[in-house]
A and B are shown apart, each in its own frame.
Chain A
């Protein structure tokens, strides 16, 4: 058994992360309710769907370009969790919810989530499977499909959560043109600028995951958030100490991390 380069640090870092995660999970399972920072975009969801109800127009939602097989799977997951909440609100307000998918494997999942939400609210008769659409695996065909929905169905609100690529600009522009309230959330750093400049509310990067955790009230999600915060603050301290040590000529901490 030969450790790889960097394998020793990786192993201990992994152990620490896993232990903290397990500890947080146990704590949340036992009923611990952590403090949650306010996320304005979540309030925005209610506003967006409420306005659609007033106007009697549909809400559009898309879980982005990613599926569950890429490194961005987490975004899709968060998007589907938020979708459950959005679908619930839509069912309550009697708003038609249009969902556009790019990934064939996400399509049945979104359909099931919306169906469950409408069922739980006793509004299953308002659920139309044809409103949950799959356009194409192809980026541009998907993009123009979404633009078509926003323009053709005269949506009142446009909600875009998940992993996005170049198509983000087209969606946001279409939504803006037709006067939609727009809410977006993604950790695709290249696309955040467009959302910041065109949307009413934006979940920047990990705010998307945080929103999902808040909405799901699922111990697995909440404990992940707690664990991340603990590790993050620990890293901030570690980096600060490491940098101070480097300033005074000691490279020990750096070397340890690269072991």
Chain B
């Protein structure tokens, strides 16, 4: 099994890696084919999401202690499988599917995230403190950027947009560059270890 896993990792990774450097007749075609397989497997793993959610909720139903705990898992399962079946057999354009997407999924997705506005306001009030030099720099830059992005900012200080733009482009840009370049080295090292099979903790469990 272990050898097999190392072989699969090498077979999957090496052609794509080699074709990153040059167009090599057979190897580049193989790399392309493997990439398409990767997409197909990603497609299968979306069904793994469906299966997992089903099992989790089925287990919750089985382990329930009171009658009241039935509702949520049942709602999840009905919604999940109802939508899966309609979607698979009739497609997204089916009125029921469209209704759920437009009036349940989309608004709930947006509403969930919009709650972050409340949380951020309260976090800004509670947590954003000038505790030390780090926090002071963070605070000043954060406030400058926030102020500069509204028309009132200019009224307070006419050069504010220029300063904010400079912070975003130069200060933030150079720090991000350092992070991106450093991150790239780390990413390459980790990926290399994955391909040659040194790094395999993700297969545990």
Contacts and interface: CB of A to CB of B under 8 A. Distances in A.
A232 interface: yes
State the majority secondary structure of interface residues on A: helix
Contacts of A224: 186, 189-190, 193
A193 B205 CA distance: 33
B182 A2 contact: no
Size category of the binding interface on chain A = 35 or more
A215 interface: no
Interface string A164-199: 001001101100100000000001010001101110
A77 interface: yes
Interface stretch (B41-49, B86-94, B152-160, B162-170): B41-49
A236 B119 CA distance: 40
Interface in A4-33: 4, 7-8, 10-11, 14, 17-18, 21, 25
Interface string A215-236: 0000010001001100110010
A4 B23 contact: yes
Interface in B21-73: 21-25, 42, 45, 48-49, 52-53, 56
A205 B120 contact: no
A2 B205 CA distance: 43
Contacts of B3: none
A70 B201 CA distance: 15
B36 to A, nearest CB: 16
A166 B116 contact: yes
B146 interface: no
B75 to A, nearest CB: 12
B138 A197 contact: yes
A129 B190 CA distance: 30
7 contacts: A1-B23, A77-B199, A80-B201, A172-B127, A194-B123, A197-B129, A228-B186
